Structure 1
Amino acid sequence: MPRAQLELSLSMKDLNERQFRGNKFSRSPSKDNRYGKKEQTEKPIKQKCIICTNQNTCQTVRTRTAQMRALIHQNKPHEVHFIYKTLTDEGHIPSLVTYTTLMTALTEERRFESIPKIMSQVEETGIKPDSIFFNAVINAFSEAGKINEAMSVFWKMKASGCKPTISTFNTLIKGYGIAGKPEDAQHVFDMMSPDNDVRPKIRTYNTLIKAWCDGKNLIEAWNVVEKMRASGFAPDIVTYNTIIGGYAKTGDTGKAERLMLEMQTRLQPDKRTWAIVISGYCKEGNMRDAFRCVQDMNEAGLYPNIVVFNTLIKGFLDAHDMAGVDEVLKLIRRFRVEPDVVTYSHQINAWSEIGMINKCMEVFENMLQAGIKPDYQVYSILAKAYARAQDPAKAESILQEMKENGIKPNVVTYTTVISGYCSATNMDDAIRVYMRMMEEGISPNIKTFHTLIWGYGEAKLPSKAEEILQIMQDSGVTPEKETYDLVACAWKSVGLQDEAERVLNSLNGSARASVGKNFEDPTEGEVLEGINGRYSGSKNKNLVRVPNSISVNRLEMDGRFFGVRLKCSVFCMNRWQARPQLYGRIRTSSKLISVN
């Protein structure tokens, strides 16, 4: 048996345990025992901080927390975790502000699977959350699309004596908009009326309008505008931009443009307004009107910025019209607008999708010559290009190049490299890259695990695919329906339909969501229930036994402040592919309208 497969469960679990814990002992490198399995030696870490253990916040914690906040402001949330880990490894106890900052960083990185772990840690420390922390948790769940859990935290916030703020309601309204539930967003808005201390502000109205527009219900959006006026708030540029964007989303960009012209009697369209209309035409494939709007924008005294030009480039690339892209690049030079990293990343991505690595590298070199430093997204696109070209070793070399250029690879980049090896059914190297990622202090997300499961399925190793379920639990990542679907597909690939059905039946038995009343305040003394049921703590008291020795825990989070339980999300991924998709021939451009 390959070494990577033999050591998979133990090694991954060991690394996962070290991610966020400041335990009494830290792990040192493992060694073989006489049975050929790995034993872990333990060594004591530094003594606990005396000030922190006396329920005070020491100066080190304050300083490191300030550094974490600064990194978020510098758009470097991925570096926050290193400071946090160093802080806990040195024996310090994070403050509530530290946890709130970490929650913000996780949300910025969209690492939502780590939210329950942070909530559990706050409970274990005995710190009582304040409204700022509750709002950060609600925002994280809202951004993750887990609005039922966000609403459950809202009720717990009220039960704990923390008064919801205007930010709380704005976030919940936004969350329901993200979840595609504008009716529920309206319900949250209506909940504010009886509360004299928290009244809707213009941002609240605009957030609700966006929820209706995202749901493509422009009639209700206009109704909110009327209520807004009746409350003494005049629609601002954000209001109009949101509704114009709503028309563009429904495929009626012509109406969006007419509204933009009508609004000029009250407000002057800004560059974002024009960019929304131009983007709408691009998405409709109407590049002629998109170009015309650039000309009209210029004549209105608003010079197109790089956002507008990048939108045009993306539109022509989506139409496979490279001649159109060249025309836009000429306009960028004519208007003396500086290209940015997005200008080049759009082009690199387009070439990568049709498997033209040489063109990818040509654009990449042009970017470097222009003095533009590539970001992690550009490197991720390059890694994806090599992975699609069945060259995972080249994809992995991107990781080293990133480090040499001072850019820390993130979970997306590592997962892309892993997918390259999985596509080649080289699971030894896929696991090696996974271990490397963990050693770098980067936590896997659910896509990472789905990639590994898919890879083991391709390699006809369904039992290994199923082992990933337990490893996910050890990492604090909750399997979803699609996770079980992938494992079932792995069993089907070797003709074991009964095993596939067993896996799917285990999902039905362990992840059945209970239905509660989302907007009803839980009564005193009752366990808090949300639409997805309870979730309680991280002590793994409740394990659902699955055949073949796979244990899927229920991700418990019982405690004083968070009496809700996360259930497996039930949205289905119809197909999970890691193979390149080739596009048709690239068309030449039609005649373009020149811009003076």
Structure 2
Amino acid sequence: MHQTFSSPSCPLFYRKPHFSKTLIRFSATPSSPVPTPPSHSSSPIFLPFLQEQDRTLQHQRQQKEEEDEDPNDPILRFFKSRTSTQDPRFESKFSLQKNRRPSWRLASTTDPESDAEFDVEEEKEQVVSDSCTSLQGISGEILHFARNLPENSTLGEVLGPYVGRVGERECVEVLGLMCEEGLVMGCLYFFEWMGLQEPSLVTARACSLLFPMLGRAGMGDDLMVLLRNLPKTRQFRDVRIYNSAISGLSSCGRYDDAWKVYDEMETNNIRPDHVTCSIVITVMRKDGHSAKDAWEFFQRMNRKGVEWSSEVLGALIKSFCDEGLKNEALIIQSEMEKKGISSNAIVYNTLMDAYSKSNRVEEAEGLFGEMKAKGVMPTSSTYNILMDAYSRRMQPEIIENLLLEMQDMGLEPNVKSYTCLISAYGRQKKMSDMAADAFLRMKKVGIKPTSHSYTALIHAYSVSGWHEKAYKAFENMKREGIKPSIETYTALLDAFRRAGDTQTLMKIWKLMLSDKIEGTRVTFNILLDGFAKQGHYMEARDVIFEFGKIGFQPTVMTYNMLMNAYARGGQHSRLPTAIERDDMVKSGQVPDSQSYQKLRSILDLKAATKNRKDRSAILGIVNSNMGLLKPKKGKKDEFWKNKKGRRRIQSFAHDG
């Protein structure tokens, strides 16, 4: 949806931010004209005619843009409906910081109202209550049976003595705790037992607890069966049941079934709420729909009277940010706040993540400052987003300061925080020891490393040329029971490619294939370059064949690496044959200008070296035939150092 919309009331759909020293404002309204300083020259003669010409051209341009506009575009209608006030007061403003400093420079803002707290499913660092708390009475006994269920038995089989003694409240309580502990099959059998009781103990609340868990466990078929077999009574025509079913199906990637459930919901005249709106917008984003489609759905929900909420705001902003429409997301945030919908930490985290991934860390820092100024408490994810941005910029000292600031806020750094620090040190060539130190600090405070942590450490060793330590870290990782990812294998292969160790390179590749881990394009290029540069052309051909099976066909870069390897190995005479044999031109992979330039420079260098050797040989033959060669010096005896001095003494004696 990369279009530019323009109209007299809405100048630009994509508007560049107006920067000042300490303030950045994102606005869809035209900025106030800048006064022109008085000129001391003579009165302009042609200026009125030029101004009239500019006005005519501008009028023609506006007419052309109005003709190109789509009157049915929902996003254009939204921006046209906005008031064209000059420099509105609350237009999502935040300060900029090029270099992080201890003191913040914030734009003055009024004290906002306290933000309401919402339980949003996508917030990953929510603290789950301790489900291991001992329960008293029947609920505690059933939970004990679920935790210690004998083999070859189901939970329903051991609950015979509790028939008639358990109510709906106890069932919901037990089901919620079992979901928190991840007892999926126990939940399923307990839910079945609840439905077999007279009267049935299945409620809408029980369904809303079970369905999302089944989705997270990848049991979409079971979820659909339970949903279809629910009683057709009014009690189960509840929007919460359908919301939980759509959410669960979205978690396991069953987007078509999620849409079917939503259509069934509309068919049964069940009115959606703001949770439905946010979940469906999330489903649309994951299913590949554009932000424009999400906006159309939001407008449809708005016409149905669905209330706006922070969940809807977060889902909409996420859809826009994923398409790179960050300025538009800020405008939507501003409009929502005018409607009384305050942004929570998740909304700010989404915006900050979008700006940081676009390498616009100053804007992310400004949003962080605005967030704190409005009284929204940062979360661990907030700091991790900033740390990840500075990690890509290779600024570990700023990440160290963020870790201290995070702890001062009462937040404990997690494995993602330390992984960002390890990566920041590891990207620099001579700081792998600091990366290893950060890794040990993480383990010392009791944080278990993940595959991402080990990958960052292995990459640090690879950049510094410590391939033995990289392999040692890989072995420690497997010893701790952490499964290596494709990124881990790629970093390890790169370490031995840099070292030129083709035997270990082949060993790691075979290990990766035995673990049934498919490589990426980066893995393909690393293996090919590692074998080809060391003269192992047959192994390089095997790499091309194996990766061709999984859909990675050779590209221009592939042939460039092969040509470079042949030339470095003295096989420059085989370059035209290699290109013809690989059907490079027939497959459409025509060498680019850099390929030809590199090939020509290699051949010129080889030709110059050969000509120089030939010229030296010819001169030697000519000089030998003409008797111009100097006699070779004989072997020096043990008194050669004194010969020159002795001749000088004899000459002085004759002169005397």
The normalised TM-score by structure 2 is 0.47
Q: CA deviation at 1:309?
A: 0.7
Give the equivalent residue in structure 2 for 1:305: 309
Q: Report what 2:457 is aligned to.
A: 452
Match of 2:280 among 261, 277, 280: 277
* CA distance in structure 2 between the aligned counterparts of 1:374 and 1:308, rounded to whole angstroms: 20
Matched residue, 2:534: none
**CA, structure 1 residues 239+295, in 2 after alignment: closer, same or farther (shift >3 Å)?**
same
Contact kept in structure 2, 1:481 and 1:572, CA below 8 Å: no
Distance change >3 Å, CA 214–CA 272, structure 1 → 2: same
In the alignment, the residues of structure 1 paired with residue 303 and residue 275 of structure 2 have an alpha-carbon distance, to the nearest angstrom, of 16
Q: CA deviation at 1:492?
A: 3.9
The aligned counterpart of 2:561 is none
How far did residue 409 of structure 1 move? Answer: 1.3
Name the CA distance, whole Å, in 2 between partners of 1:571 and 1:101.
40
Greater CA deviation, 307-316 or 424-433?
424-433
Deviation at 1:430, TM superposition (A): 0.6
Q: Is the 8 A contact 2:391 2:399 kept in 1?
A: yes
Structure 1 counterpart of 2:236, from 234, 237, 241: 234
Which residue in 2 is equivalent to 1:319? Answer: 323
Q: Secondary structure at the match of 2:294?
A: helix
Which secondary structure state, in structure 1, belongs to the residue aligned with residue 341 of structure 2? coil
Q: Match for residue 335 of structure 1?
A: 339
Instruction: Provide Cα deviations, 1:297-319, integer angstroms capped at 9, x if missing partner.
Output: 44444421111111111111112
Percent of aligned positions with the same letter in both sequences?
20
Asked whether the equivalents of residues 251 and 280 of structure 1 are also in contact (C-alpha less than 8 Å), the reply is no
Of the structure 1 ranges 216-225 and 279-288, higher mean CA displacement relative to structure 2 is found in 216-225
2:363 paired residue number: 359
Q: Tell me whether 1:430 sits opposite 2:435 in the alignment.
A: yes
**Which of 381, 387, 390 is the matching residue for 2:391?**
387
Instruction: Indicate the residue corresponding to 1:440 in structure 2.
Output: 445
Q: Does 1:406 align with 2:410?
A: yes
User: What's the secondary structure of 1:229's corresponding residue?
Assistant: coil
SS at match of 2:465: coil
Cα pair distance change 1:159/1:205, threshold 3 Å: closer
Deviations 1:26-72 (A, max 9, x none): xxxxxxxxxxxxxxxxxxxxxxxxxxxxxxxxxxxxxxxxxxxxxxx
Change (3 A) 1:479 1:493: farther
SS of match in other structure, 2:359: coil
User: Counterparts of 1:224 and 1:438 in 2: how far apart (Å)?
Assistant: 44
Question: Counterpart of 2:584?
Answer: none
2:544 corresponding residue in structure 1: none
How far has the Cα of 1:259 moved from its partner? 3.8
CA contact (8 A) 1:256 1:277 kept: no
Question: CA shift at 1:576, angstroms?
Answer: 9.1
**2:441 & 2:220 partners in 1: Cα distance?**
49
Post-superposition shift, 1:437?
2.5
Q: Which residue of 2 aligns with 1:583?
A: none
Whether the aligned pair in 2 keeps the contact of 1:135 and 1:168 (CA below 8 Å) is no
- Distance of 1:450 and 1:130 partners within structure 2: 44
Q: Is the 8 A contact 2:489 2:508 kept in 1?
A: yes
Matches within 5 A, 1:22-33: none
Task: Give distance in 2, aligned partners of 1:201 and 1:388.
Answer: 51
Q: Decide whether the 8 Å contact of 2:175 with 2:187 is kept in 1.
A: no
Which of 342, 347, 352 is residue 351 of structure 2 equivalent to? Answer: 347
Output the CA distance in 2 between the equivalents of 1:489 and 1:156. 47
Q: Contact between 1:170 and 1:204, CA under 8 Å: does it hold in 2?
A: no
Query: Which residues of structure 1 form unaligned runs of 5+?
Result: 1-73, 81-96, 103-128, 137-152, 178-184, 512-569, 578-596
Using a 3 Å threshold, how does the CA distance of structure 1 residues 466 and 232 change in structure 2: closer, same or farther? Answer: farther
Change (3 A) 1:388 1:204: same
Give the structure 1 partner of residue 637 of structure 2: none
Relative distance call for 1:473 and 1:241 in structure 2 (3 A) is same
Decide whether the 8 Å contact of 2:427 with 2:460 is kept in 1: yes
Residues 191 and 467 of structure 1: CA distance in aligned 2, closer, same or farther (over 3 Å): same
Partner of 1:55: none
Distance in 1, Cα, partners of 2:405 & 2:472: 32
Q: 1:218 to 1:438 in 2, by over 3 A?
A: closer
Q: Is the 2:178–2:187 Cα contact (8 Å) retained in structure 1?
A: no
The 3 A distance-change label for structure 1 pair 403 and 444 is same
Cα distance in 1 for residues equivalent to 2:229 and 2:300: 33
Q: What's the offset of the Cα at 1:293?
A: 3.9
Q: Write out per-residue CA displacement over residues 177-233 of structure 1, whole angstroms, 9 at most, x where no aligned residue.
A: 9xxxxxxx7997599679989999457766776688779998875543332338998
Task: Give, in angstroms, the shift of residue 157 of structure 1.
Answer: 9.4
Q: CA deviation at 1:335?
A: 1.1
Shift of 1:274: 1.8
Report the TM-score, using the length of structure 1 for normalisation. 0.51
Structure 2 residue 267 is the aligned partner of structure 1 residue 262: yes
> CA 1:324–1:445 in 2, change beyond 3 Å: closer, same or farther?
same
Q: Contact (CA 8 Å) 2:195, 2:201: kept in 1 or not?
A: no
- Partners of 2:376 and 2:368 lie apart in 1 by 10
Q: Whole-Å Cα distance in 2 between the matches of residues 389 and 256 of structure 1?
A: 45
How far is the alpha carbon of 1:243 from its aligned partner?
Answer: 4.5
What do residues 100-129 of structure 1 show as CA deviations (whole Å, max 9, x unaligned)?
469xxxxxxxxxxxxxxxxxxxxxxxxxx9
CA spacing shift, 1:487–1:176, aligned 2, 3 Å: farther
Flag the 1:367–1:456 CA change in 2: closer, same or farther, 3 A: same
> Alpha carbons of 1:168 and 1:282: their partners in 2 closer, same or farther (altered >3 Å)?
closer
Asked which structure has the greater CA Rg, the reply is 2
1:413-449 deviation digits (Å, cap 9, x = unpaired): 1111111111224211111222333343433233222
- SS state of the match for residue 228, structure 1? coil
Equivalent residue, structure 2, for 1:418:
422
CA distance in 1, matches of 2:192, 2:255: 30
Count of aligned pairs between the two proteins = 374
Higher relative contact order (CA 8 A, sep 6+): 1
CA contact (8 A) 1:244 1:256 kept: yes
8 A contact 1:285–1:319 mirrored in 2: no
Inter-CA distance 393–155: structure 2 relative to 1 (3 Å threshold): farther
Question: Residue 229 of structure 2: SS of its match in structure 1?
Answer: helix
**How far has the Cα of 1:365 moved from its partner?**
1.8
Structure 1 residues 268, 428: closer, same or farther in 2, change over 3 A? Answer: same
Any gaps of 5 or more consecutive residues in structure 2?
1-124, 135-139, 163-170, 524-656
Deviations 1:546-594 (A, max 9, x none): xxxxxxxxxxxxxxxxxxxxxxxx76675899xxxxxxxxxxxxxxxxx
Is the Cα–Cα contact under 8 Å of residues 415 and 451 in structure 1 kept in the other structure? yes
Counterparts in 2 of 1:191 and 1:297: CA distance versus 1, 3 Å: closer
Instruction: Say which SS state the counterpart of residue 268 (structure 2) adopts.
Output: helix
Paired letter, 1:338: S
> Residues 497, 200 of structure 1: CA spacing in aligned structure 2 closer, same or farther, 3 A cutoff?
farther
